[in-house]
Each structure stands twice: as C-alpha cells, then as structure tokens.
Amino acid sequence: MFRRNFTLSPADTFPSQGVIKLLLITQGATLLLHAMRVPVWLTILCFVLLSWRFWRLRSGERDLLSNGVKNSLAVALVAIFGVSNGLNFTVEAAIAFFLLTYSLKLLELKSYRDAFVFAVLSLFLIILVFLYGQSLLEVSLVLVSIVLPLAALLALQDAEPGSAGWLKRFSAGARILGWAIPLLIFIYVVFPRVGPLWAMPLKSNSAFTGLSEKMTPGMISDLAGLSSRAFRVVFNGSPPPKSELYWRAILLDGFDGRTWYRSGLQSGREIGLYRTGAPLPPGPQGSWDYEVAMEPHNQVWGFTLKNYVMVDESPRLSVDGTLLFRDSQESLTRYRMVQGEWPEEDPGQWRLTRLPEGVNPQTRALVQELRARHADDESYIQAWLSLFREQPFFYTLKPPLLPGEHTIDQFLFETRQGFCEHYAGAMTFALRAAGIPARVVTGYMGGEYNSSGNFWAVFQYDAHAWVEAWVEGRGWLRIDPTGAVAPQRIESGLRAALADDAAFLENEPLSLARLSNYSTVAWLRNQLEYMNYLWHDTVVLYDQNRQSNLFSRWFGENKWKRILGLLGVLAVGILVLFAGALLYGKTWRRRPPVALRPQWILERKLRRAGIPVPPGSLTPAELLSYATPRLASGREGLKAVLEEYQALTYSRSSAGEDVSEKRRALERRIKSLRLKRLRR
C-alpha cells in the first residue's frame, strides 16, 4: 500500500490567492533578514520580482511569463550575478545566489508543487540567518519569521483556503511551532554532539570582524566604529583592576616602513616561526581563574592576559605568549585560563631590532639625541613617554592621513594626532632604532563589567595596540604610549576618553553603546548584554563536555552504563508490553461483529456456567446440541433464544424493520437466562 504515493492536492492546482499572498509576505521577510549581508542591488531586484508578482496577483492574472521570456530572464540575472560576484566563493555569495534563484521561482509559481517548494525554501533560507550570528536577536528574528512559511504550508493544506484571516493563519503557524518547541528542547539536550564531519569549503567574508594580522595606521580606529562584541570573560574570584586588563592577541614583529605585520604568520594558519618552541604546559587540572567565551572571528588566535596559562589541551599557548587554535574559529568558542608564570624568552634570536633602511630620518635623529642623554634603557623609555605626555599630542579617532613615505616622521613632527596604533608604532620604531628589542602587541584593552551577570564584555571598540620592550634584567615590559597621551582611555575605556569625539561609533547612530551616556539606555544595554550572555553560556555553548557533565549529574559517574541500562529496561518493557498486547490483545480485539454478538454473549455465559464451549466455530444448531445435554436447567430458555437468534440473523429482514432493537432485546434476554451445569 505504500507504493501508492498520492498528493493531496493535485500538482497542477493553482494555489489560492491567500496562499500566494502568504508566500509573498514570507519572501519579503526572508529578503529583509538577509538584506544586510547580500549586495543591495540583489535585494532590490528580488523586491522588484516580488512586486511584479503581487501586481500580477492583484490584477487577477493567472498567466505568468511565457517560458522563453522566463528562461532568458533567469539566465540573464544569474549571469549578472556571476559577473558581479566573480570567483568569490563565500557564504554570503552562496546565500545571495540562493536568494536570487529562490526569487526567480516566483516567476513560475503557479501550482501546488511550486507553492510547497517555495514555502520550504523560505523555511531553510530563514534558518541560514544563524550563519551570521546566534545571539538572542537572531533567535527571535528567526522564531518570528519562521511562522510565515509554516502558515503558508498550513494554508496550502486547508481545504477552504479563503476561510481564515491573516491572524488565524499566523496563529496556526505559531501553534505548530509552539508544539514542537518542548520536543526541540528535549532533542537539543540529548542529541549526541559530534565534531565537524568534513572541512567546509565556504568561508564568510564579512560576517567576521576583529583584529587582523597586520597593523597600518587607521586599522584599529576602524574597529572603534563597531559596537559588536569580541568576547566575554568570567573571572573566578576577583578580577585584576580594569587598567591591567590588556588582552593580548597577536605580536607584530615586522615593519616595512608603513605596516606592522607578523613575520612568522602566513595565511593565518601556518604558525612557522612561533611554533619552533614547545608550547607551554597546561596548568593544574580543575582550577581556573577566568573563562573566555569568544565570538567567531575566523582567525586562529585567542585572547589572554599575561601570565595565565591554559587549562585544557586547546588552545595552545606558544612561547611568546600568544594563544593559538588549530583552526580558524568560526563558531562561538570557550576556553579557560589559570594563573601561571610565563618564561621570559630570549629575544635575541627574533632580531627584534630590525628596521627598514632609510625611512623616518627625523625620528632617527631624535632617537640619537635622546639616546645620548639616556644610556639606560628604562630612562630612555621614560623620556619618550614624557615626550608624548608633555608635547601637544592628541588622541583622536580621526587622525589626518599619513600619505608620505616617512609616516612616523609625519606623525611625530607634523600632525601629532593619532589613535593607539600611531603611538604604538612610533614608540616601537623609536625603541628599535635605539637598539632595544621591541614589538607591537595588538588586542583589546579593558571591557565593560556587567553586574547582573558578573562578567566582562569586551567590544570591538576596545581594540588596542601597545608595545612590549625587552629590558635586560627586567624581562619584557609592557609600555602603553596611549596611556601617556590619554590616561582616561586606560582608566575608564574608550567611551569615556572619546566622549565628545563624533567619530566614535559614527556608523551606528542608534547603537545602544553610543547612547549609553543616558542611564536608562545604559541599564537596558546592560540587561540585554546579560540576557545574551546567559543565552550563549547555557544554550549556544552547550557542547559535548556540558552534555557529558549533565548526564553525569543525572546518571552518576558510570553514566554510559546506566544510560544503556535504562535504554535496555525501556526496550524490554516495550517488548513485554507489545508481546502482552499480541497475546491478550486478541481477546480484546476479537469483539464479534454486532450481528453475531448474541451468540458470543451466550457462549461466554455457558463458559462461565462451566460448559467449555469451543470458541467461535459453532452454528446455533450445533451450539444447542452441544450445550443441551450438559445443562441441568435452562434448556428451554436456551432453545428459545437460539431459535430467535437464528431467525434474526439468518432470515431476510424486511425493509424498515429495526433489527438492532430486536437484537438488543435478545441480548438482554440471554443475559437474564438462568443456566446450570449438569453435575455427574
């Protein structure tokens, strides 16, 4: 019977207006959800297709485009997309292509099958929003918009599609979703977590923001325009003071006259130079001082404070104090760190005093002058810091451009306005020129404490660059020239330091972070941040470890044995029930057809009286001749009811006669019979 595969609505039925309108609304919502990540022209084009379809629907036209027009339009649009996109195989490009073909489907949407496919495609495109992020914002967007394709599918199944209004349709969709959510939670908790099955070739281009492995003037100040979160930290115990929260990410040790770069790090994967030393050993098991929940940034590095080592196998801490993962991190990642001294490695072999020849002559002259006065490394450093502090240097997000060849000369002697990367770059140059090994460190500085959740949130605008210098006898010193120019940046964070700078978050005019000077907004932002933290911490980061821990808590240490045992007991129980149903179910189910019920009742009565009537095979006459010699009393009654029964069942009843009433009367008579077994 399974081979009969029928569709409940013939594939060629034109879907009702209501269904198509629902589908158009669904498509609009889907396009809006992706609008930020796909080219603007594509979104506009898809909306044009949508409007065309809507206009077609309004004018009551059933005929769409002819096949030739339709196909050439589709080919043309796909070709335009191919040309404009090029060989750019990213997640966004894939989604854009998907959206385009999906919207082209509208051109030929005229049957049950088309409508069904369109609704299901919408469903999947809505789910793909999670590729951009997994916070409460995306979750609520998806939960709300997923109701639309569900409502469309429901309307498609409705035999009277015009019978319900919008509200009814949407609430029906929401109900389907609501029923599924408890089951979803159960599956989410128990479904086994596995690692990636194979490497995904698609990379995202714009979905990830954050530090890169190079530093040119302007790169970090670009990040100051973003209020997205970089990572969250929970301290186990009291945290260090805020001005000590220097989250190290990467060391930049090469300089080409304009850009600071990581000499050993190529293509973001190969660690090369920095893998030469063995990684630092992990700290003692079970103890930790802080836990970082890192947003996906598509890079291999993590963030750590100085003199903390990792608790688990991954990520690994390299000898120079950078935290490295095996792969680029494309999803939310969590790791724990514990206090532990870092060995002070010898900088000599890294040749950290190399500089390109012939650039920045003015700076070199100043270096020679200062070095002549301060032979001692530390006082030389102090001399530079007081130079920054005392001379008219300004801390700003929008420093003038430095187009020339001698960028550091230009900055130090002409513009004198810069962001942290200008100061860090100039300082490192000055140190190296004086023969002191030095490097630029980029990462984040500070963060915002969330008192509701007792965690720190670090945002993109907290990105920072500072300097590390090797001083004989003291090891690596952290030097932050920005602190000399704008001490507020270090003590209270960027927002306080640049309270009046219009450039702060200038592209996000409505960002809560920008408006946080108003206390209600600050409170609201704090609460939202906290809710997202809870969401990420309990739900999104529910991984293999957490699942295992949860099962341990439920089932104890030998959890797998117990879970297996429990499953076994369940299986056996179900089998027993099933077998029981098979064995006894027969007597339950062998209810006779109504017409035969009088005899069935009579046989049961005889058996109860002690006469073993064989089940279900005797005719009334046979039953009579079987039972009569075994009865002590009630023979006449038995004969009478059996005759009546025979008359009722085996003779043709004339039309209009109520047989069932007669049968019931007979059943009552049989029940009132007094039968007694003959004793021998």
Partner 1 sequence: MVTLRKKLQQIEENWLKKRVPASERRTLDNRSLFVFPNRWGVVFGLLTLVVLITGINYQNAMISASAYLLIAMCLLHIFQSYKNLAGLTLEFDRAESAFPGDWITVILRVHAGDRERKGILVGWLPDRYARFNLDKGQSRDITVRLPAKRRGALEPGRLLVATSWPLGLVTVWSRPDLSVRAWVYPEPVHAEPLDADTQEGGDQDQRRKHASEGDFAGLREYQKGESVRRIVWKKFAQTGARVVRDFEVSSAKPEWVDASAWAHLETERKLSAMCEALLALYNQHKPFGLRIEQTEYGPDAGEAQLRRCLLSLAQYEGR
Nearest-approach distance from CB 36 to partner 1, in angstroms:
17
Q: Does residue 120 interact with partner 1 by CB under 8 A?
A: yes
Residue 222 bears catalytic tag: no
Nearer to partner 1, 170 or 466 (CB): 170
**Of 364, 337, 383, nearest in space to 429 by CA:** 364
- The answer to whether the CB of 356 falls within 8 A of the CB of 256 is yes
Q: Name 332's Cβ contacts closer than 8 Å, sequence gap at least 6.
A: 134, 293, 294, 295, 296, 536, 540, 541
Site for partner 1 in 182-201 (CB under 8 A): 183-184, 187-188, 191, 194-200
Q: Does residue 9 interact with partner 1 by CB under 8 A?
A: yes
Beta-bridged to residue 317, according to DSSP, are 323
Q: Does residue 540 interact with partner 1 by CB under 8 A?
A: yes
* The one segment of 125-133, 372-380, 624-632, 646-654 that binds partner 1 by CB under 8 A: 125-133
Task: For residues 537 and 294, give the distance between their C-alpha atoms in angstroms, rounded to a whole number.
Answer: 11
Site for partner 1 in 307-346 (CB under 8 A): 330-332
Q: How many residues bind partner 1 (CB under 8 A)?
A: 57
Site for partner 1 in 99-118 (CB under 8 A): 116
Block residue for tokens 């064989």 = 614
State phi, psi for 504 to the nearest 5 degrees: -65, 120
Nearest-approach distance from CB 182 to partner 1, in angstroms:
8
Q: Does residue 75 interact with partner 1 by CB under 8 A?
A: no
* The one segment of 80-88, 134-142, 470-478, 626-634 that binds partner 1 by CB under 8 A: 134-142
Query: H-type helices in 59-165, by residue range?
Result: 67-85, 91-104, 112-127, 136-145, 147-157
Q: Does residue 527 interact with partner 1 by CB under 8 A?
A: no
Catalytic residue among 420, 422, 536, 537: 420
Beta-bridged to residue 455, according to DSSP, are 450
Of the candidate residues 163, 454, 558, 619, the single one contacting partner 1 (CB under 8 A): 163
Measured in whole angstroms, how far is the alpha carbon of residue 171 from the centre of its chain?
Answer: 25
* The one segment of 2-10, 351-359, 478-486, 614-622 that binds partner 1 by CB under 8 A: 2-10
Of the candidate residues 4, 62, 608, 674, the single one contacting partner 1 (CB under 8 A): 4
Q: Does residue 159 interact with partner 1 by CB under 8 A?
A: yes
Pair of tokens at residue 456 = 């720190």
Q: Does residue 582 interact with partner 1 by CB under 8 A?
A: no
Q: Does residue 127 interact with partner 1 by CB under 8 A?
A: yes
| DSSP state, residue 413 | I
Q: Does residue 617 interact with partner 1 by CB under 8 A?
A: no
- The answer to whether the CB of 103 falls within 8 A of the CB of 49 is yes
Q: Name 508's Cβ contacts closer than 8 Å, sequence gap at least 6.
A: 225, 226, 227, 514
Of the candidate residues 89, 124, 166, 413, the single one contacting partner 1 (CB under 8 A): 124
Neighbour tally for 573: CB within 10 Å: 10
Q: How far is CA 645 from CA 439, 592, 593, 657, 668, in A?
A: 107, 15, 14, 16, 12
How large is the greatest C-alpha to C-alpha distance in the chain, in angstroms?
138
Catalytic residue among 34, 406, 464, 536: 464
The enclosing H or E element of 398 equals: none
Q: Does residue 660 interact with partner 1 by CB under 8 A?
A: no
Nearer to partner 1, 200 or 502 (CB): 200
**Of 655, 481, 508, nearest in space to 209 by CA:** 508
Block residue for tokens 């196998």 = 313
**Of 354, 312, 304, nearest in space to 458 by CA:** 304
Q: Does residue 385 interact with partner 1 by CB under 8 A?
A: no
- The answer to whether the CB of 305 falls within 8 A of the CB of 264 is no
Residue 420 bears catalytic tag: yes
Nearer to partner 1, 203 or 336 (CB): 203
Catalytic residue among 289, 320, 377, 480: 480
Nearer to partner 1, 80 or 177 (CB): 177
Residue 464 bears catalytic tag: yes
* The one segment of 359-367, 474-482, 540-548, 639-647 that binds partner 1 by CB under 8 A: 540-548
Q: Does residue 131 interact with partner 1 by CB under 8 A?
A: yes
Nearer to partner 1, 75 or 187 (CB): 187
Q: Name 389's Cβ contacts closer than 8 Å, sequence gap at least 6.
A: 484, 485
Nearer to partner 1, 120 or 665 (CB): 120
Nearest-approach distance from CB 542 to partner 1, in angstroms:
7
Q: Does residue 150 interact with partner 1 by CB under 8 A?
A: yes
Nearer to partner 1, 132 or 247 (CB): 132
Nearest-approach distance from CB 158 to partner 1, in angstroms:
5
Q: How far is CA 102 from CA 12, 81, 98, 115, in A?
A: 20, 14, 6, 12
Q: Does residue 157 interact with partner 1 by CB under 8 A?
A: yes
- The answer to whether the CB of 211 falls within 8 A of the CB of 424 is no
Interface residues toward partner 1, by CB under 8 A: 1-2, 4-10, 116, 120, 123-124, 127-128, 130-131, 134, 138-139, 142, 150, 153-154, 156-160, 163, 172, 176-177, 179-181, 183-184, 187-188, 191, 194-200, 330-332, 539-543, 593
Q: Which residues are catalytic?
A: 420, 464, 480
